[in-house]
Amino acid sequence: MPKLFDIKFPGGCKSLPDGFWSAVDVWIKKPHVVNKRLCGVKETDSKDVDQDDLRLLLHDPELFTDALLFMITGASAAHEADKPWSSSVRTFIPKVNCYGTNLHKEIILKDFGRQRVTFIPFEEDAEGKASLRKGNIYQIQLCNQDCEEWSLELCALSVDSWFSDGVAYPKLPWLSSDLLPKLVRWATECRSSEFRSTLSLLPVEKYSLMYQQLKDKYKAMVKVWPEVTDPEKFVYEDVAIATYLLVLWAEERAEKGLTARQSFVDLGCGNGLLVHILTNEGHPGRGIDVRRRKIWDMYGPQTLLEEKAITPSESFLFPGTDWLIGNHSDELTPWIPVIAARSSYSCRYFVLPCCFFDFCGKYQRRQCKKSQYKEYIDFIAEVSQVCGFNTDEDCLRIPSTKRVCLLGKSRNYQLSDEPEVEQQRAHYIHSRCTAPGVTVQRSDVSNDEDCCNGDGSCNGTPGSSWGAGFQPRDRVEAVRNCAALPRDFVDGVVLRVANALLGMTAGDGEGSCRDWNQGGVTTTNHQPPTSSVTPTLCMSSFSTFMNLLCGLPLFLLPGQLHVHYPSSAHQDKYYPKSSLSVSEVAGLLGQETLRLLKKECGGLQTLLRNNHQVFRVEGGRVYIRDWREKMPFRADVKRKPVTPGALKTRLCWFHAHHPQGCPLQAESCAFAHGAHDLRPSTRPLKKIKNEAF
């Protein structure tokens, strides 16, 4: 039994040997977390086997002898006498089916006594005939060399005949360099997830097949996505959610003997892509959202999308609908089980929580032993239970950190008990809305007179609204990145902070911030002091130099430029090294200014980052941007370059406000030196391709 590779565990690891088996179970049950070419596996129930059972499993007498010798090397006679192995079979489900009708499987034999697990691969054709792959039998073993030192070993039965396709048959170097280190890490951490396994409620093989079909069908939408959001994330996420629902509903029809496809309403449908996919796949339904999106016009008339504010009330019940969907439905999330329960006894729901909302405002944490996300999921599950649903939890396979969904597929009470359960629901909602510490969020939401209850009324009758504190979001999305603040307000904050930073150097006793022209870029034959060096600056390096100044690409006029590097004594005067923490900057501003900034996402720090021509914000501290830096900062690297049509479209802050003006000549600066230097923007508008889907 040749040992191919071994890796040692960190010293003092207390999780072994139990952690080893936990790590092995991850590789057995969820190999797709390591092998990205797999969608998952389907595993049979395990059973204890002995040598006779193993002989029946392997069929081939010669292979049985070799495999048995491979597995029992080092085992004692007493160990061999009992049934030493726990056996199961897993079937690989590749993301892209490259095997046709053949199934690729593995017999998994766990030997708990010797701390080893053996994998015996075989292929099964459409007729059920199996053929074993002797050359790909391998084993992973936990070894305890002494009382303190543990290691993990990888062994193979026949290295020379090893076959690899990167899917069901990984490469041996990959097993050594990728799998084993991950097994060591998993075994060391040995922590269980707060949530269920991914796709635990669905047959993974059906999900994989459906996902590939939908992905190929709708991937073209990535190229024509008209929204400002990331197209790849939103398109593939909605394709995955649609896949989940389609497979779930197909299983439901098969279980209940139904032929008609389930109807649905997506509450808070957003871009409407999920509605579009489900409708195209044959399910009647519609989406409702408070704001219309640009992409809605691209779907066609068959995709029904309504622009309407949803207020939980009698006006928003859906008695003829099979399923209600809440995909990142924000403030509607806790209400969706309630709306489904009150719509009809047969109405079901699917909800994918994201932002944390209670019935009448932001969700307030009540426990510290759970993560905030887990606590909120438990809260929605509690709402579902109170509403009378048998609640299922599952984890989706989507590109998001918040991918736990809840489903209410059936009720936990009889239809005749509806009045009693309704009283329970009403009492629960009332207790949540009137609990101490609950504050209603009103600052960012307003009630339009035509969108309160869906019919033009505004809760005029008692009991028409279920949550007195609930308010839908604004129909017009509020811009909260400081871009909508008054220009005079922003300029005032920028000038006050910049003056404070420049003034710190002026008052430190070492020089004045007004020594601006004692060093910098010049265009004459200026002779520098003896202690400095005057290099020639080529066009490419000067462009880089200017990028550091403005965060913008430059197109410079031809000419010879020289840079005068001041002496070290002058450098500190020329570019102040002083900085302020964000909290210190906040102390410079009045309470009314801070109150306005608090309403913006990111507040003061966002405003300072937006003015990147003047400031550099890094590590929670604010600096005047240092133009001498040869390497761009992390934030500058991420900044997208602008087109030439954007140059000279804004005034240069340093030319207008610095005591010595801008150290660059007007023709070399990306910003305009005065109103006469301003140019109209000639950036081309974003073209949107309107293609049929």
pLDDT, mean of residues 62-75: 77
H-assigned helices in 293-354: 335-343
Per-residue pLDDT at 84: 81
Q: Is 40 helix (H, G, I), strand (E, B) or coil?
A: strand
Per-residue pLDDT at 227: 84
Same domain, 224 and 127: no
pLDDT, mean of residues 490-503: 89
- Whether the per-residue pLDDT at 471 is higher than 80: the answer is no
Q: Is 157 helix (H, G, I), strand (E, B) or coil?
A: coil
User: Which amino acid is present at 587?
Assistant: G
- Could you count the other beta carbons within 10 Å of the beta carbon of residue 6? 14
Same domain, 222 and 88: no
14: Cβ contacts below 8 Å, ≥ 6 apart: none
Give the residue from 433, 460, 486 where a domain finishes: 433
- Whether the per-residue pLDDT at 499 is higher than 70: the answer is yes
Is the residue at 447 inside a domain?
no
Per-residue pLDDT at 457: 35
Per-residue pLDDT at 634: 52
For 242, left (φ over 0), alpha (ψ -120 to 50), or beta? alpha
Residues pairing with 120 in the sheet:
107
- Whether the per-residue pLDDT at 569 is higher than 50: the answer is no
Give the residue from 396, 416, 433 where a domain finishes: 433
- Whether the per-residue pLDDT at 618 is higher than 50: the answer is yes
pLDDT, mean of residues 345-359: 94
Same domain, 91 and 143: yes
Cα 417 to Cα 411: distance, rounded to the nearest angstrom = 11
Same domain, 220 and 71: no
- Which of these, 498, 444, 483, 486, lies nearest to 606 by C-alpha position? 483
Per-residue pLDDT at 478: 65
Same domain, 674 and 604: no
The residue whose two tokens read 């914000």 is 617
Query: How do strand 579-581 and strand 621-624 relate by DSSP bridges?
Result: antiparallel
Cα 32 to Cα 514: distance, rounded to the nearest angstrom = 62
Q: What percentage of the chain has pLDDT greater than the value 70?
A: 76
Q: What share of the chain is helix, strand, coil (3-state, %, to 5)?
A: 35, 20, 45
Is the residue at 413 inside a domain?
yes
Same domain, 279 and 396: yes
Lowest mean pLDDT among 20-34, 72-86, 501-515: 501-515
195 vs 152, higher pLDDT: 152
Q: CA torsion, points 406, 409, 414, 419, in degrees to nearest 10?
A: 50
230 vs 527, higher pLDDT: 230
Lowest mean pLDDT among 252-256, 610-614, 626-630, 688-692: 688-692
How far, in Å, are 31, 346, 384, 447 from residue 414 at the CA level?
A: 42, 11, 16, 38
Same domain, 253 and 159: no
Kindly write down the DSSP assignment for every residue of 609-624, as one continuous string.
HHTTTTEEEETTEEEE
pLDDT, mean of residues 52-63: 80
- Whether the per-residue pLDDT at 515 is higher than 50: the answer is no
- Which of these, 129, 103, 96, lies nearest to 44 by C-alpha position? 103
Per-residue pLDDT at 74: 61
- Which of these, 73, 90, 114, lies nearest to 26 by C-alpha position? 90
pLDDT bin (cut points 50, 70, 90) of residue 198 is: confident
Q: Is 514 helix (H, G, I), strand (E, B) or coil?
A: coil
How far, in Å, are 186, 397, 403, 404, 627 from residue 33 at the CA level?
A: 12, 11, 15, 17, 45
Is the residue at 29 inside a domain?
yes
pLDDT bin (cut points 50, 70, 90) of residue 456 is: very low
Is the residue at 373 inside a domain?
yes
Kindly write down the DSSP assignment for every residue of 530-580, as one continuous string.
TTS---EE-HHHHHHHHHHHHSS---PPS--EEEEPPPHHHHHHHS---EE
Q: Is 361 helix (H, G, I), strand (E, B) or coil?
A: strand
Is the residue at 137 inside a domain?
yes
Q: Is 380 helix (H, G, I), strand (E, B) or coil?
A: helix
Cβ–Cβ < 8 Å for 561, 568: no
Lowest mean pLDDT among 47-61, 322-336, 505-519: 505-519
Sign of the torsion angle spanned by Cα atoms 165, 168, 173, 174: positive
- Which of these, 295, 20, 293, 270, lies nearest to 142 by C-alpha position? 20
- Whether the per-residue pLDDT at 536 is higher than 60: the answer is no
Per-residue pLDDT at 460: 35
Cβ–Cβ < 8 Å for 190, 20: no
Per-residue pLDDT at 58: 79
pLDDT, mean of residues 477-497: 83
CATH label of the domain that carries residue 496:
1.10.10
Q: Which domain holds residue 254?
A: 204-433
Is the residue at 673 inside a domain?
yes
pLDDT bin (cut points 50, 70, 90) of residue 83 is: confident
Contacts 24+ apart (CB under 8 A), 485-489: 485/596, 485/600, 485/607, 489/593, 489/596
Same domain, 210 and 134: no
Per-residue pLDDT at 284: 97
Sign of the torsion angle spanned by Cα atoms 302, 307, 312, 315: negative
Is the residue at 689 inside a domain?
no
> What does the mean pLDDT of the chain come to?
79
Same domain, 214 and 302: yes
Provide φ and ψ at 637, rounded to 5°.
-65, -40
Per-residue pLDDT at 625: 78
Cα 585 to Cα 498: distance, rounded to the nearest angstrom = 10
Cα 385 to Cα 372: distance, rounded to the nearest angstrom = 20
- Whether the per-residue pLDDT at 106 is higher than 80: the answer is yes
Same domain, 399 and 261: yes
Kindly write down the DSSP assignment for every residue of 66-133, as one continuous string.
HHHHHHHTT--HHHHHS--EEEEEEEEEESS--STT-EEEEEEEEETTTTEEEEEEEEE-TT--EEE-
Per-residue pLDDT at 91: 94
For 509, left (φ over 0), alpha (ψ -120 to 50), or beta? left
- Whether the per-residue pLDDT at 220 is higher than 50: the answer is yes
Same domain, 290 and 414: yes
43: Cβ contacts below 8 Å, ≥ 6 apart: 28, 29, 88, 89, 90, 91
Please compute Rg for the chain using Cα positions: 33
- Whether the per-residue pLDDT at 428 is higher than 90: the answer is yes
Per-residue pLDDT at 225: 87
Cα 614 to Cα 612: distance, rounded to the nearest angstrom = 5
Q: If you ran DSSP here, which 8-state letter would residue 230 be given?
A: -
- Whether the per-residue pLDDT at 509 is higher than 50: the answer is no
Per-residue pLDDT at 11: 79
Same domain, 8 and 32: yes
Cβ–Cβ < 8 Å for 350, 324: yes
HSE (CB half, 13 Å, CA atoms) of 26?
21
Per-residue pLDDT at 555: 35
Is the residue at 532 inside a domain?
no
- Whether the per-residue pLDDT at 145 is higher than 80: the answer is no
Cα 269 to Cα 266: distance, rounded to the nearest angstrom = 5
Q: How many structural domains comprise the chain?
A: 4
Per-residue pLDDT at 675: 87
| CA 9 to the chain's CA centroid | 31
